[in-house]
Chain A
Amino acid sequence: MTLLPTGRARIDELRMVGITKRFPGVLANDGVDFDVRAGEIHALLGENGAGKSTLMRQLYGLYKPDAGEIRLNGAARRFNSPSDAIHAGIGMIHQHFMLVPALTVAENVALGLASSRGPLLDLDRVSKRIEELGERYHLKVQPDAQVWQLSVGEQQRVEILKALYRGAALLALDEPTAVLTPQEVGEFFKVLRRMAEDGHALIFISHKLHEVIDISHRVTVMRDGKVVATHPTAGSTRERLAGEMVGRPILLEYDKPPVPAAAANEVPRLEVEDLHVRGDRGRDALRGVSLSIRSGEILGIAGVSGNGQRELAEALTGLRRVTRGRVRVNGRDLTHATPQQRIAAGQSAIPEERMKDGVVRDFSVSENLILQDHGHAPYSRAGFLNTRAITRDCAALVKDYSVKTPALETPTKNLSGGNIQKLILARELARKPTLLICAQPTRGVDIGASEYIHQRLLEQRQRGMATLLISEDLDELMALSDRIAVMYEGRLMAVLDRADATPAKLGLLMAGVAA
């Protein structure tokens, strides 16, 4: 028996065979075969609702399979509870952390474990072990720090330490990167590689294609509860994986004609000069941002979140006071304009937090579609809503933008994230805006819906709309933008032409290193 550096026996092979799990109305797993070996990082890829978490929960003893078998090193095993799974050397990192905020790191790691010395916890020994493990796997955390003081990335390290401390030889990580910044993802991947080199078996769940390509040795794609493909990662492209995930060919690079050369007297759609804005904590969140966007152009804003992108969007939509500088839309000064003045000036916006700022959760689909335009004809006359016109136009919008909803009266909160985003898009683009302030348009949205949203944005670009596209998704920025600006600590580090913007260059700029 081979031992891991942690002193535990390796899991040479885990095999799940014909796993089937049914929930009321959903076949969440349908005859799923899946396996992972020691030293391997096996990615499990699929859209939301494909059944990835369900599969892992059965491995961890949280659900019992309706049919199928789990084999550990060739022997069939049955896990009735997580503690069975932990005993067998299986660890799981949930998307929502399971830590006690008021306890220290060491206490959290030791939580629920029988102490080697009777009833009293030997925290010193735990701390020492945490430091050893942290050293080996680049998981630096202070054992005596309290969990509530830690950043999200650090908390995740604690979760991994906890699993390693308990002797996990196989680790299932359910969307671990969803909560991390791109920088943290890089660090995190080092940890995973090191663990794999040591002979751990790792299952990495994600729906981000480039991460899967980056980190995994093999990839299994799931769709609607079934496995649609398992193959080595090397040699598979993002397009191929995306196509397998969605079940139809998906475009990730778009053909788009170049922006026509500027006419001599052309007025930019958006001009921002030396913009200063305070953040929530009173410090300057924007410190002199200047940019300009022409008709038919998409300017992407890249940057690690928290460098002023949110404040920029809020300032440009009239939600945050500008302390210095100037904003002109189509040549008109709108520096201090209210949201309604901007809407009247032909500006639309897609907010970063769509459930908070984009829709009224308890409003129906049609009520949300008229959120800005209910005040004038044809949706209202003399102060009364014109239900017939509303129903007619909303039905058309829902159809045009393929918003999947049972009815126009359905409460918006019942729709999926992608469909809510399409609803917002329909509302904002139907007005034929000349300028769109667009923040994180596809965050948490399925690939299929993302592609659709991108196509719609490009269509409007063709029509001449200028777009400010704020995104943390570099792939999205590179696919859509004509130019990309990088924000760092409230300033623009540089504005690159799309052709010059390589991920490496952007990455450096995002870290504040001037090119």
Chain B
Amino acid sequence: MQRAKVLFERSLSALTPFLAVLLALAVGAIMLFALKVDPITAYGALIEGAFGSPFALAQVLVKATPLLLVGLGICIAFRGGVINIGGEGQIIVGALATAAFTLALPQAPAIVLLVGGMLCGMLAGGIWGGIAGALKARFGVNEILTTIMMNAIAAQLANFLLRGPMIDPIEVKNGTMLAQSARLPELSWLPKLVPQTLLHAGAIVAVIMAVVVYILLWRTVLGYRIRAVGLNAEAARFAGIRVPVYQALALLLSGVMAGLAGSVEVLGVSHRMMDGVSGGYGFSGIVAALFGKLHPLGAIPASALFGSLLVGADKMQRAVQVPSALIDALNGLVVLFVVSSDILVRRRAQRRKAAERKS
């Protein structure tokens, strides 16, 4: 009896993200109904769109790549007991730095461009996250506020650079003045994994990083301290661990991962820096991380799943001709349901523990 109950609770907690997605889709079905669209057709298009062809699958993985990278950063932040809402800004500055680096060295060999480009992106993202971290450590400023504000600053910075110093000379010549950089040198493009598709080597980079983050969190002194600080700041302080320093480092590393997502996007997908490069990954990466139970390896399947949802919904929108706002709403619903189900599960666990302690 007792054991069955424990088992039930466990599997419930593992399944909740999936149940939450199903629930979100059910609510979405009601909205589709209201728009006089047959939900079965629509969701059929969604599944078809995500898994129906090798191209679709490749597309899913392309989307999953930045999700995974941002999600890994979110894992680090959450484990350190801090919250990073600044993924968007960190992606943007990462992408900017990568583009600037490769455009500045058009003649360099591929390895220099790729490695240097990604390092620049990580550095820029790290600085962006690190600023929020330093403000928290030094002045106790809430990191949720600062990371959000840093998003706005990054967006404005991109705006300025892409319309000014970094604008594509061709845009100036043609007079179209689109806010985008020149195309990056072809040598700096991440190689394709499957010809004729968009799938690029960034996916491999992301999976390697998942393993790296796993090792960082569980096999290094730095990761140990980040986890100690996140789980019990008081005990960590008592044991002589400088809590603010490790909270700041968690935010910094979180920014590094998001910055790398920006690099991978410009090097692998857009091949130039332009508006909208962050594509909302800064936020949906949080969901991917929660989906993966804040475990770096769990984030791998989680981001693939969430990526398929993004791709499928996009196809669905075109197939059944619903307003694109509906897709945003659907994604929003998924985020809402996944996050709140996570909170629900935690509360339940807490209450159960409290009840056990009392008896």
Contacts and interface: CB of A to CB of B under 8 A. Distances in A.
Given A374-B224, A383-B221, A359 B235 contact: yes
8 contacts: A339-B237, A340-B240, A358-B238, A361-B232, A363-B227, A371-B228, A383-B220, A383-B221
B346 interface: no
Interface in A347-403: 349, 351, 356-363, 367, 371-372, 374-375, 380, 383-385, 387
A342 to B, nearest CB: 8
B231 A357 contact: no
A152 interface: no
B347 interface: no
A319 B221 contact: no
A377 to B, nearest CB: 11
Contacts of B225: 374
What 7 A-B pairs have minimum CB-CB distances, sorted nearest first? A340-B240, A371-B239, A339-B240, A360-B232, A357-B238, A360-B231, A372-B239
Contact of B238 (A25, A317, A362): A317
B236 interface: yes
A356 B235 contact: yes
B251 to A, nearest CB: 19
Contacts of A342: 240
Contacts of A372: 239-240
B222 A383 contact: yes
Contacts of B358: 96
B221 A374 contact: yes
B242 interface: yes
A356 B239 CA distance: 12
B1 interface: yes
Interface of B: 1-2, 219-222, 224-225, 227-228, 231-232, 234-242, 358
Given A24-B1, A340-B242, A385 B236 contact: no
Interface centre among A25, A96, A342, A374 (most CB of B within 10 A): A374
Contacts of A230: none
Nearest to B238: A357
B2 A319 contact: no
A339 B238 contact: yes
A142 to B, nearest CB: 29
A367 B241 CA distance: 14
B50 to A, nearest CB: 36
Interface centre among B222, B228, B234, B240 (most CB of A within 10 A): B240
Contacts of A375: 221
A385 B226 CA distance: 14
Contacts of B222: 383
B224 A385 contact: yes
A94 to B, nearest CB: 10
B210 to A, nearest CB: 18
A384 B234 contact: no
A357 B220 contact: no
Contact of B220 (A317, A361, A367, A385): A385
A362 B353 CA distance: 13
A290 interface: no
B220 A363 contact: no
A159 to B, nearest CB: 17
Contacts of B238: 317, 319, 339, 349, 351, 357-358
Contact of A363 (B1, B219, B231, B234): B231
Nearest to A340: B240
Interface in A305-343: 317, 319, 338-340, 342-343
Interface SS of B by simple majority: helix
A342 B240 CA distance: 9
B219 A360 contact: no
A96 B228 CA distance: 31
B221 A363 contact: no
A384 B221 contact: yes
The interface size bin for chain A is 20 to 34
Nearest to A359: B235
Interface of A: 24-25, 96, 317, 319, 338-340, 342-343, 349, 351, 356-363, 367, 371-372, 374-375, 380, 383-385, 387
Contacts of B1: 24
A357 B219 contact: no
Contacts of B220: 380, 383-385
Contacts of B221: 374-375, 380, 383-385
Contact of A319 (B228, B232, B237): B237
A367 B224 contact: yes
B240 A384 contact: no
A384 B235 contact: no
A371 B236 CA distance: 7
A372 B239 CA distance: 5
Nearest to B218: A385
A319 B233 CA distance: 12
A67 B225 CA distance: 53
A72 B238 CA distance: 54
A379 B224 CA distance: 12
B235 A360 contact: yes
Contacts of A385: 219-221, 224
B237 to A, nearest CB: 7
A338 B235 contact: no
A423 to B, nearest CB: 12
Given A340-B242, A359-B232, A385-B224, 10 more contacts: A24-B2, A338-B242, A339-B240, A342-B240, A358-B238, A374-B221, A374-B225, A383-B222, A385-B219, A385-B221
A387 B218 CA distance: 10
A374 B229 CA distance: 14
Contacts of B2: 24-25
Given A24-B1, A339-B240, A343-B240, A371 B219 contact: no
A349 B239 CA distance: 9
Contacts of A358: 235, 238
A362 B294 CA distance: 15
Given A24-B1, A96-B358, A385-B219, A360 B236 contact: yes
Contacts of A340: 240-242
B240 A360 contact: no
Contacts of B227: 363
A363 B236 CA distance: 11
Contacts of B234: 356-357
A357 B240 contact: no
Contact of A357 (B235, B241, B242): B235
Contacts of A360: 228, 231-232, 235-236
Nearest to A314: B238
Nearest to B239: A371
Contacts of B224: 367, 374, 385
A172 B342 CA distance: 42
Interface centre among A340, A356, A371 (most CB of B within 10 A): A371
A347 to B, nearest CB: 10
Nearest to A344: B240
B239 to A, nearest CB: 4
B250 to A, nearest CB: 15
A58 to B, nearest CB: 14
Nearest to B358: A96
Contacts of A359: 232, 235
Contacts of A371: 228, 235-236, 239, 241
Contacts of B241: 340, 371
A343 B237 CA distance: 12
Contacts of A317: 238
A372 B236 CA distance: 9
B242 A363 contact: no
B232 A384 contact: no
A213 B219 CA distance: 53
Contacts of A343: 239-240
